[in-house]
Chains A and B, each alone.
Chain A
């Protein structure tokens, strides 16, 4: 159980670090596309690691102490992880397409190749 606790602390440290980096990137970066790049990818990665820490902890209690009520927790957390991974990537793509079609330009952009391609 001690080793599993240390593994959980390492996972949750990685997760919190990436969540903080993503939240600060939302403030530091200049335009919508770079903000999307920082915020979506970093917070998805960090949330995956936080959920992994919870999975390690609840599966460890289930396996070591034989507490079978933790099995519900473990399986439902895996379902939440699946929902989070699928929906985050898709919604980031939808936001990027919506921002481009509504006329948002990248910062300091000179040429936009996609615009010519969409008008044809």
Chain B
């Protein structure tokens, strides 16, 4: 099975969202774009794991990346809404 077109389309999606990170008006829009980019990167890592044959450690990296980016999103959201830490 050929996974190369899938990873190319995912790269195009990631580039579109990264452009919105640099353009976006205001902090919340940038945070939304960053969260979307993290989701797309997790999906791309899983495609890469399947594309390069039997390499399950890419999927472990994807799990840890998903959980860490979730913590980062929660903390930046707390900072934007003006809470004290």
A binds B: yes
**A residues near B, CB below 8 A?**
5, 8-9, 12, 15-16, 19-20, 22-24, 26-27, 32, 35-36, 39-40, 43-44, 46-47, 50-51, 54, 57-58, 67, 69-70, 72-73, 76-77, 79-80, 83-84, 87-88, 90-92, 94-95, 97-99, 101-102, 104
Task: State the CA gap A77–B43 with chains docked (Å).
Answer: 10
Given A76-B63, A80-B59, A84-B42: A95 and B31 within 8 A (CB)?
A: yes
Question: A88–B63 contact, CB under 8 A?
Answer: no
Instruction: Number of B interface residues at 8 Å Cβ cutoff, please give it.
Output: 44
Question: A104–B26 contact, CB under 8 A?
Answer: yes
Interface of B is mostly: helix
Residues of B with C-beta under 8 A to A39: 17, 32-33, 35-36
Given A80-B66, A87-B67, 9 more A-B residue pairs with CB atoms under 8 Å apart are A19-B40, A20-B12, A22-B13, A39-B17, A73-B56, A76-B60, A77-B46, A95-B73, A99-B28
Residues of B with C-beta under 8 A to A76: 56, 59-60, 63
Question: B54–A91 contact, CB under 8 A?
Answer: no
Task: State the CA gap A5–B72 with chains docked (Å).
Answer: 37
Residues of A with C-beta under 8 A to B39: 43-44, 47, 84, 88
**B residues near A, CB below 8 A?**
1, 6, 9-10, 12-13, 16-17, 19-20, 26-29, 31-33, 35-36, 39-40, 42-43, 46-47, 49-50, 54, 56, 59-60, 62-63, 66-67, 69-70, 73-74, 77-78, 80-82
